[in-house]
């Protein structure tokens, strides 16, 4: 299963991005760091991690000492107060954990605030990766056509 996830992720990222030193990426819900490793494998170096769990944040800080790691609940109102914006925000296997409609809506509002204008929000659609190019007041949705979905 993880080989498939690795392949689909690689294909989807290559469809939209090429590694650049100036790109800042936020991985929301980093957990054990599986997708942090994938970003690094693809040559992206400026990747930041976040997770809702204090234990996960502590472990991520130990495993990735050069990575900035934040405790973040994307469905919480306080997540919208972050002052940072990112070129790419990746949120994979996280949104289905949010069961409250209100928190789900807030999560998307927070994600929109975290993505720079003309930035990229990468999120799964079922098991596929969907990317949304953020533009002020409008978005274009594209789905990965090279995935097995």
- Locate all alpha helices (DSSP H) within 1-149, ordered by sequence: 2-16, 34-41, 54-63, 101-114
* pLDDT of 47 higher than 80: yes
Position 80 scores a pLDDT of: 60
Residue 141: pLDDT band by 50, 70, 90 thresholds? very low
Taking the C-alpha atoms of residue 67 and residue 2, their distance in angstroms, rounded to an integer, is: 23
Q: Helix, strand or coil for residue 3? A: helix
Alpha-carbon distances, residue 54 vs 61, 82, 94 (angstroms) = 11, 18, 16
Position 125 scores a pLDDT of: 54
* pLDDT of 129 higher than 70: no
- Locate all alpha helices (DSSP H) within 72-144, ordered by sequence: 101-114
Q: Are 70 and 49 in contact (CB under 8 A)?
A: yes
Position 58 scores a pLDDT of: 97
Backbone torsions φ then ψ of 10, nearest 5 degrees? -60, -45
* Domains of the chain: residue spans and CATH: 2-138 (3.40.50.150)
* pLDDT of 17 higher than 90: no
Q: Are 21 and 86 in contact (CB under 8 A)?
A: no
pTM: 0.79
Residue 142: pLDDT band by 50, 70, 90 thresholds? very low
Average pLDDT, the chain: 80
């Amino acid at each position: 299963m993880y080989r498939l996830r690795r392949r689909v992720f690689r294909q989807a990222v290559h469809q939209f991005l090429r590694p650049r030193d100036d790109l800042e990426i936020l991985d929301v819900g980093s957990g054990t760091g599986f997708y942090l490793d994938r970003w690094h494998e693809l040559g992206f170096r400026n990747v930041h991690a976040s997770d809702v769990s204090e234990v996960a944040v502590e472990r991520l800080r130990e495993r990735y000492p050069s990575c900035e790691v934040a405790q973040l609940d994307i469905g919480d109102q306080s997540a919208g107060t972050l002052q940072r914006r990112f070129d790419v925000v990746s949120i994979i296997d996280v949104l289905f954990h949010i069961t409250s409609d209100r928190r789900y809506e807030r999560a998307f509002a927070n994600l929109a605030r975290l993505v720079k204008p003309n930035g990229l929000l990468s999120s799964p659609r079922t098991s596929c990766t969907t990317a949304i190019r953020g533009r002020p007041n409008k978005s274009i949705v594209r789905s990965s056509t090279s995935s097995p979905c």
